[in-house]
Amino acid sequence: MLGFHMVKIIFASAMEQYTRGEKEIRINVTTYRQACELLMREFPLLNKETLSEFSVAIDDEIIHEPLLESFELNSVVFFVPKIAAG
Amino acid sequence: MATHVKTTINNEAVEFLCEPHESLSSVLRERLHLTGTKEGCTTGDCGACSVMLDDRLVCSCLVLGVETEGMSIDTVEGVAKADKLHPIQEKLLEHAALQCGICTPGIVVSAKALLEKKADPTEEEVRFWLAGNLCRCTGYDKIIRAVLDAASVLREEA
Amino acid sequence: MSGQTSSEYKYIGTRSIRPDGADKVTGRANYGADFFLPGMVHGKILRSPLAHAKILSIDVSAALAMPGVLSIATSEDLPDMNAGTESAGEGEVDFYDFSCNVLAREKVLYHGQAVAAVAATSEAIARSALDKIVVDYEELTPVLDLLGAQKSDSPLLHKNQTTEGPKGKGKTPSNIAKQMMLARGNVDEGFSEADVVVEKTFISPIVHQGYIEPHACVVRTNESNQIDVWCSSQGHFMVRSFMARLLAMDVSNIKVTPLEIGGGFGGKTVIYLEPVAAILSRKAGRPVKMVMDREEVFRATGPGSSSIVKVKVGAKSDGRIVAMEADITLNAGAFKGSPMMPSMMCVFTPYTCPNMKVTGKDVVTNTPKVAAYRAPGAPQSHLAAECVVNEIAKRLNIDPIDLRLLNAVDEGSPTIYGPKFKAIGLKAALTEARSHPHYASALSDNQGRGVACGFWFNVGLQSSATINITESGKAVVITGNPDIGGSRASMALMAAESLGIPLDQIKPIIGDTESVGYNDVTGGSRTTFASGGAVIKAAENLIQDLKRRAAKLMDIDVELVQWIDGQAVAPADLDKKPLSLARLARKAGATGGPLTATATQTARGAGPSFAVNIIDVEVDKETGSVDVKRVTVLQDAGKAIHPSYVEGQMQGGAVQGIGWALNEEFVYNEKGVMENPGFLDYRIPLASDLPMIDTVIIEVPNPGHPYGVRGVGEAPICPPMAAVTSAVNDAIGCGADFQLTELPLSPVKVLDAAEKLMG
């Protein structure tokens, strides 16, 4: 979709209801915020609330509050369900 | 009708008023604010409220306050003497034998009662004696080791 | 042991006496029910006598007219709430459901649910006033069976609840709240390659965390709309934010002072009494104390989920696992929200198998709303997965630890939920287990051995810490996580190590919600990792300030000052005397004012933990009773800050798991009334039930923490249910076909299975 595919975003299965069943997407963004804006445009069912229900793992580091995170070239970003504590 | 009760608690004369239905644990905690005696169940199953009543180990939740007229009650508050912990208390700390610590006062009272009866108990004897004191945090391992260790300290002191 | 050794450190890794110890062994420490205020009155809760009913009306007039009754609360006193989940703290919460669980609206959904509350001048009056409240119910059929609840003709708990699934919300109302799937590779292809396939279903009952301290609080309101709360919980900031949300107040109007907590295990990460006590107090104009009794704790506080977990595993004859499939159903209780997701994410995480598929269902029934219980959801799914892996090992005649080592995840292995592992200690723990003397020891007649491993993520979340230096140069270390198992000791050790000052110069305390920055709950095995991390950062900030001040006093450049062993040191050639912390504290007035430092963090880099158990049991073939003979628990703890308390977590978690396997279960009658709501009949393990619990701490440092700390509290409860179940099946001679698959393994079930095997 966008010429230079920089970041691979992989959706948790719990997100597929919002992504028309898409499991992953490559997008040209450098920050989590940009990624969210782009994902919300691409998948209108996604909104800020649903996105906030997930942590993200950026290059295997799970980040609970990713709002201000930026990505490296070719970063792999997983949306992961938030883990409750016991 | 509240009843007037005269007792000795931790070697001090103590008088209190209580209703006939009030348990000793409730009297100690609510009326005398001796909250070292804990209530985990009020049905005699958990042992957190263990006290000595005329030198007998009891669950104070199963004793009525009015029953203790003229009796001597020893609670966890009376175990440490003059700013020095009892060896059982010291060993529980050394062995890290408490996590949350809510069962600990009952364990202290109960273990002390055991070691006063039997200076050299086996591991199995300690386990069965403390079977009335529930601990949900530790799995008992460190508690048992602490009590056995305290027993040897007390034997050396004797 | 691998990784860093304790000799690199002066304080951490030592077995210091906990700073709060003396108060806890003498009975001086104040727990939830140990707090009193002048003028305090007593609140009691009226609980539903039915498991499922509509509330037609509540008449409180007769109760309110009783002498000594000061106020009454019902759900009408709670603000309206919108339904729908929202992100709150570390998980998702539906505050409409939460509000109904605090005081029922419209319907009661489990026996024991709170319906109304009374505050009176004595507990006895409050209790008798409860009898005068008249509630008119329309009784409905209770839904108790986890399978039956899913059927289309089942009575519904929530008429507006449809199933949320991978394809969105369902159309028709259902007791299945959520349905999810995780997958990697292709399981069908995997199974077609397999030489051996085992499929089995394991069932576990509702169990309780079983903390010895019942929930308790004192709440005082005033005329300026301020609320003061004293309570025991796994997080006083959690209490504050949930109260604010449920009472539609701002958090700044609520101050929560933590009392000591008498156990939680996840069960005190939610609240029940505090909002009710606030309403009662506001209406009565008096402080209100509320304390649950043990029966209320069992009937009305969140237990752990019952489960039905079907697992299918396929392996090649050489032991390589090629396909793993699980179908996990967890009971949420009366309101949606079982730990289905973590259960799904953990079930096969110890294994590298390329083809996995895990489905999950979150199902509501007329039982108490579940709460977190130590590694929520993981023990239930590990029970099934680890038992099936043990059956595979038996079928292939491969040692079960060797089989696991062949398939175990390691650094760089991907997880089913996405990211790859950094340094982890599963293989190290398995290798230690295989060479442990326990594993080589012989078994006697009627004995069996089980091994199992388990996984828990551990979390980071938000933490704050403040260090205040006294005029005499001692460090008061303030954190905001209730100390549930010795965390003050670990905070003190990390502060001593970071500041380079002796342990007895450190006083660790737990601040209330207004004297330290925000902190997420003591849960997710995060406190030593995340709040400890905040302490280390605060110490670093303090050292920067101390160096600046020392430079001024020495009249040298700040870059020249080093902080070594608790003192500011100048280069030797400058001939300046080192300045100790005590000296710098005394000079604080001249160098810029009092010494204090704060740090906060949203901790990242939480290190996951793996645990391995070897458990031996002996079955009495006359009675079916099971005696646990020997237990060895191994766990990758990362750096063990205080090894004794790490061992304690491992031992305590193992024993909770053993209780879950052998004894513990909520027994319901057909009306949905729990029949064993006391410690006599809900039997948690006793000292006399157990042997010593041998521990082996593996220390693979977590690269995400300055000292290599991982969380340790939750992983220990993941393997024991599977290890015990495998051991009992082994002891009765099941071979590679486990007959005992439903917990608890009560004497009757064991005897039945043993007799069947003997023909």
Topology classification of domain A7-81: Ubiquitin-like (UB roll) (3.10.20)
- Per residue, what are the HEC states of C216-228? EEEEEECCCCCEE
Averaged pLDDT, A6-25 = 87
Question: Which residues in chain B (5-24) have CB-CB distances under 8 A to chain C?
Answer: 19, 21
Flag if B35 and C647 touch (Cβ within 8 Å): no
**Cβ-count burial of C445 within 10 angstroms (0-12 exposed, 13-18 middle, 19+ buried)?**
exposed
One-letter amino acid for residue C157 of the chain? L
Return the CATH architecture of domain B3-78: Roll (3.10)
Query: Would you state the structure tokens that stand for residue C636, as one six-digit string?
Result: 């990758």
Flag if C262 and B102 touch (Cβ within 8 Å): yes
Whether residue C419 contacts residue A57, with contact meaning beta carbons closer than 8 Å, is answered with yes
Query: Would you state the structure tokens that stand for residue C693, as one six-digit string?
Result: 């619990």
Residue-level pLDDT at C84: 80
In sequence order, the 6+-apart residues with CB closer than 8 A to the CB of C555 are none
Rg for chain C, CA atoms, rounded: 27
Residue-level pLDDT at C1: 35
Query: Would you state the structure tokens that stand for residue C749, as one six-digit string?
Result: 């079930």
Whether residue C123 contacts residue C138, with contact meaning beta carbons closer than 8 Å, is answered with no
Q: How far apart are CA C715 and CA C424, in angstroms?
A: 13
CB count within 10 Å of CB C598 equals 17
With beta carbons under 8 A apart, name residues in chain A contacting C341: 14, 81, 83
One-letter amino acid for residue C725 of the chain? T
CA-wise closest residue to B105 among B13, B38, B30: B38
Given CB atoms, is A49 within the 8 Å cutoff of chain C? Answer: yes
Q: What is the chain B residue with the closest CA to C297?
A: B41
Chain C contact partners (≥3 CB pairs within 8 A): A, B
With beta carbons under 8 A apart, name residues in chain C contacting A68: none
Whether residue C446 contacts residue C605, with contact meaning beta carbons closer than 8 Å, is answered with no
Question: Which residues in chain B (66-105) have CB-CB distances under 8 A to chain C?
Answer: 75-77, 79-80, 85, 89, 92-96, 98-105
CATH of domain C32-141+214-261+268-300: 3.90.1170.50
Residue-level pLDDT at C7: 63
Which ranges constitute the DSSP H helices of C363-447?
Answer: 378-396, 400-407, 426-435, 437-440
Residue-level pLDDT at C752: 96
What is the CA angle C43-C373-B141, rounded to 5?
100
Instruction: Please count the CA atoms within 13 angstroms of the CA of B40 that sit on its side-chain side.
Output: 31
Given CB atoms, is B111 within the 8 Å cutoff of chain C? Answer: no
Q: How far apart are CA C197 and CA A20, in angstroms?
A: 34
Chain B contact partners (≥3 CB pairs within 8 A): C
What is the CA angle C699-C356-C387, rounded to 5?
65
CA-wise closest residue to C73 among C130, C139, C137, C138: C130
With beta carbons under 8 A apart, name residues in chain C contacting A9: none
Long-range pairs for C554-560 at CB < 8 Å and ≥24 separation? C554/C579
Q: Where in chain C is the domain with CATH 3.30.365.10?
A: 307-458+607-758, 460-602
Residue-level pLDDT at C294: 98
Instruction: Please count the CA atoms within 13 angstroms of the CA of C222 that sit on its side-chain side.
Output: 8
Query: Would you state the structure tokens that stand for residue B66, as one six-digit string?
Result: 């009015």
Q: How far apart are CA B2 and CA C76, in angstroms?
A: 37
Whether residue C402 contacts residue C373, with contact meaning beta carbons closer than 8 Å, is answered with no
Given CB atoms, is B29 within the 8 Å cutoff of chain C? Answer: yes
Q: Name the residue with tokens 């339904």.
A: C83
Q: Name the residue with tokens 């309206």.
A: C80
Q: What Cα–Cα distance (Å) separates residue C101 from each residue in C108, C288, C295? A: 9, 20, 17
Out of C29, C678, C689, whose CB is closest to B101?
A: C29
Given CB atoms, is C146 within the 8 Å cutoff of chain B? Answer: no
**Cβ-count burial of C562 within 10 angstroms (0-12 exposed, 13-18 middle, 19+ buried)?**
middle
Q: Where in chain C is the domain with CATH 3.90.1170.50?
A: 32-141+214-261+268-300
One-letter amino acid for residue C219 of the chain? V
Q: pLDDT tens-digit profile of B60-119?
A: 999 999 999 999 999 999 999 988 999 999 999 999 999 999 999 999 999 999 999 999
**N-term to C-term CA, chain B:** 48
Q: What is the chain C residue with the closest CA to A81?
A: C341
Is the domain B87-157 a CATH 1.10.10.10 member? no
Mean pLDDT by 10 residues, chain C (759 residues): 58 97 98 98 98 98 98 97 74 91 98 98 97 98 97 97 87 96 95 98 98 98 96 98 97 98 97 98 98 98 98 98 98 97 97 97 98 97 98 98 98 94 97 98 98 96 97 98 97 98 98 97 94 98 98 97 97 96 97 98 94 98 97 97 98 98 98 98 98 98 95 97 98 96 98 92
Given CB atoms, is C432 within the 8 Å cutoff of chain B? Answer: no
Q: What is the chain C residue with the closest CA to A60?
A: C419
Question: Which residues in chain C (680-709) have CB-CB distances under 8 A to chain B?
Answer: 680, 684-690, 692-693
Q: What Cα–Cα distance (Å) separates residue C308 from each residue in C203, C383, C384, C639, C758? A: 5, 10, 9, 36, 28
Residue-level pLDDT at A5: 60
Q: What DSSP string runs through C72-135?
A: EEEGGGSPP---SEEEETTEEEEHHHHHHHHS--SEE-STT-EEEEEEESSHHHHHHHHTT-EE
Q: What Cα–Cα distance (Å) separates residue A34 from each residue in B63, C495, C664? A: 68, 39, 50
- Per residue, what are the HEC states of A14-76? HHCCCCCCCCEEEECCCEHHHHHHHHHHHCCCCCHHHHHCEEEEECCEEECCCCCCECCCCCE
In chain B, what are the domain boundaries?
Answer: 3-78, 87-157
Model confidence band, residue A21 (pLDDT cutoffs 50, 70, 90): confident
Q: What Cα–Cα distance (Å) separates residue C719 from each residue in C11, C254, C695? A: 31, 41, 14
Q: What DSSP string runs through C252-295?
A: GGEEEEEPB----TTTTSS-SSHHHHHHHHHHHTS-EEEE--HH
Residue-level pLDDT at A14: 77
What is the CA angle C502-C507-C509, rounded to 5?
150
CA-wise closest residue to C533 among C599, C597, C475, C582: C599
Q: What DSSP string runs through C311-323?
A: EEEEE-TTS-EEE
Topology classification of domain C307-458+607-758: Aldehyde Oxidoreductase; domain 4 (3.30.365)
Model confidence band, residue A53 (pLDDT cutoffs 50, 70, 90): confident
Rg for chain A, CA atoms, rounded: 12
Out of C182, C266, C602, whose CB is closest to A65?
A: C602
Whether residue C642 contacts residue C457, with contact meaning beta carbons closer than 8 Å, is answered with no
Q: How far apart are CA B130 and CA C692, in angstroms?
A: 14
Of C15, C16, C23, C24, which to mutate for an interface test with B (greatest number of B Cβ within 10 Å)? C24
Q: What's phi and psi for C162, nearest 5 deg?
A: -115, 170
Given CB atoms, is B127 within the 8 Å cutoff of chain C? Answer: yes
CA-wise closest residue to C175 among C186, C189, C194, C159: C159
Query: Would you state the structure tokens that stand for residue C68, as one six-digit string?
Result: 């000594």
Instruction: Please count the CA atoms within 13 angstroms of the CA of C558 that sit on its side-chain side.
Output: 8
Q: How far apart are CA C383 and CA C403, in angstroms?
A: 17
CA-wise closest residue to C136 among C107, C111, C156, C158: C107
Q: What Cα–Cα distance (Å) separates residue C341 from each residue in B14, C181, C184, C193, C378? A: 57, 9, 16, 29, 10
Q: What is the chain A residue with the closest CA to C377?
A: A86
Given CB atoms, is C314 within the 8 Å cutoff of chain A? Answer: no
Given CB atoms, is A52 within the 8 Å cutoff of chain C? Answer: yes
Flag if A14 and C166 touch (Cβ within 8 Å): yes
Q: How far apart are CA C264 and CA C234, in angstroms?
A: 7
Flag if C521 and A16 touch (Cβ within 8 Å): no
Question: Which residues in chain B (40-59) have CB-CB distances under 8 A to chain C?
Answer: 40-43, 45-46, 48
Flag if C86 and A80 touch (Cβ within 8 Å): no
CATH of domain C460-602: 3.30.365.10
Of C411, C604, C609, which to mutate for an interface test with A (greatest number of A Cβ within 10 Å)? C604
Q: Name the residue with tokens 């319907």.
A: C107
Given CB atoms, is A81 within the 8 Å cutoff of chain C? Answer: yes
Of B28, B76, B102, which to mutate for an interface test with C (greatest number of C Cβ within 10 Å)? B102
Question: Which residues in chain C (420-459) have CB-CB distances under 8 A to chain A?
Answer: 420-422, 457, 459
CB pairs under 8 A between A and C: 108
Rg for chain B, CA atoms, rounded: 16
With beta carbons under 8 A apart, name residues in chain C contacting B61: none
Tell me the nearest-neighbour CA distance from B69 into chain C, angstroms.
Answer: 23
Residue-level pLDDT at A4: 57
